[in-house]
Amino acid sequence: MDDINKEKYQKNGIIGVLTRKFISTKISSLLAKTRLTPNQITLFSLIIGLIGIYFLSTGERTNLIVAGILIFFSKIFDAVDGELARLKRMETPRGAWIDGISDRFKENLIFLGVAIALYRQTGDVYVWLYAFIAVISIHMLSIVLEHTGMMDKNALKNTQEDFWMVRFAKKIGIRPQFLALQADTYLFIIYVSIILNQLMFILWFFMVVMNLYWIVIVILVFIKKGEEEK
């Protein structure tokens, strides 16, 4: 099982590595013995994610704990569908396509759920503006990564290797991807914050940190590519 996910481990942040190693691969090994298909797991992940978002939207303390747990397991099964596809040799472009769409759909609805919950808790209409600015960070990060890869598939890697934090991390034995705010990392922040009823923290984190993150990537890549073109 570890061999199947070796490549995936190299791309995941620390949270993704740990959840795959200790949770999703164990589930995948069991499901591989059944007739379940990867697409069915993708649908199951979507359903439990949507149920979690509904609980989130109520803004009630007990429901937030349930919501955080359900959304966490929705993400776990996002890993399971791909692992199961590799185990059963059922990988297809269509499966990867619908899996990606499902993931982005849930991420957008999480912010809607947070906004509804906060509005119910506080009555503050500005939470809708905050949620809008927060969700922009996710879309922009996706756009930046996609278009950077289209320009030069090695651009991010080359830029990352020149960054001082990455060089320092390598010296002390930390994988560079562990420093990146990848989906597994920022979604973990969301799960924990929901369970702890820190919904405003979620919005501020994405409004400030995640928006700064994609902006910094743009600046660093722009400078790096400019130096290469001279």
CA atoms of 100 and 19, how far apart (whole Å)? 19
CA atoms of 143 and 130, how far apart (whole Å)? 20
pTM: 0.85
Contact 53, 67 (CB under 8 A): yes
Q: Domain ranges for the chain, please list them.
A: 6-229
- The CATH class of the 6-229 domain is mainly alpha
- Which pLDDT does position 1 carry in this prediction? 45
Mean pLDDT for each 10-residue chunk of the chain (230 residues)? 48 73 88 93 96 97 97 93 89 89 93 97 96 95 85 71 60 62 86 96 96 91 77
